[in-house]
Chain A
Amino acid sequence: GENVEQHPSTLSVQEGDSAVIKCTYSDSASNYFPWYKQELGKRPQLIIDIRSNVGEKKDQRIAVTLNKTAKHFSLHITETQPEDSAVYFCAPRDTGRRALTFGSGTRLQVQP
């Protein structure tokens, strides 16, 4: 199965700063790489995803970069705002199980 590592586990930034979270995975056949935001007691919300034939994708303040050779992908949030405070999970798709395998999560705190 897919082994996923996510770093850092916690991240505190000042409002307006950038935040970067990194995820490494083991399944070289993985072809789908999403990032989710989860608020307390709620379902995970997809914030951005990337497929294996693309190296970078951007959506306003959020971007994801993928390095398939090194088997890692990163979430970049620019101009952070207090409402960005939440737990973020990477969840690369395990091609064997066809399921998403979630990383351990990163608690992002944006200080006003």
Chain B
Amino acid sequence: GAVVSQHPSRVICKSGTSVKIECRSLDFQATTMFWYRQFPKQSLMLMATSNEGSKATYEQGVEKDKFLINHASLTLSTLTVTSAHPEDSSFYICSARASGGGYGYTFGSGTRLTVV
């Protein structure tokens, strides 16, 4: 079945630094990828929709200059958390749909970000 690889699984960074998270579709092409954030004991909240070859679409309240998304190829989307602060500590998880639509959504394994 469709597999999405997400790296790193865990990262600890210092306040003010930047962290890049990669999401790669391994056996299918994904024109669209979705980035979610999940705080402890809460639901997954959509942050942005990543579109191959064009700008990402950000949800209301998500700073596009802080959460940089790049979707340069049909198999790779990256999320960079810039100037990270402790309140950015969360579980970040990506999801992809295969090109051509359909209903299947595949999730990455998630990245636990801790900002100290």
Query: What residues of chain A have their CB less than 8 Å away from a CB belonging to chain B?
Result: 32, 34, 41-44, 46, 49, 51, 89, 91, 93, 97-105
Contact = CB atoms under 8 A, between A and B. Distances in A.
A32 B112 CA distance: 29
Chain A: interface secondary structure?
Answer: loop
A50 B49 CA distance: 23
Interface stretch (B12-20, B39-47, B75-83): B39-47
Given A41-B112, A100-B95, A93 B103 contact: yes
A97 B46 contact: yes
Contact of B110 (A43, A99, A100, A104): A43
Contact of A100 (B42, B105, B109): B105
Nearest to B102: A32
Contact of B44 (A32, A49, A89, A93): A89
Given A41-B112, A104-B43, A99 B107 contact: no
Nearest to A97: B49
Nearest to B44: A102
Contacts of B109: 42-43
B67 interface: no
Contacts of B103: 32, 49, 51, 93
Contacts of B49: 97-99
Interface string B15-46: 00000000000000000101010000011111
B97 to A, nearest CB: 8
A43 B43 contact: no
B115 interface: no
Contact of A102 (B32, B43, B110): B43
Contacts of B108: 43
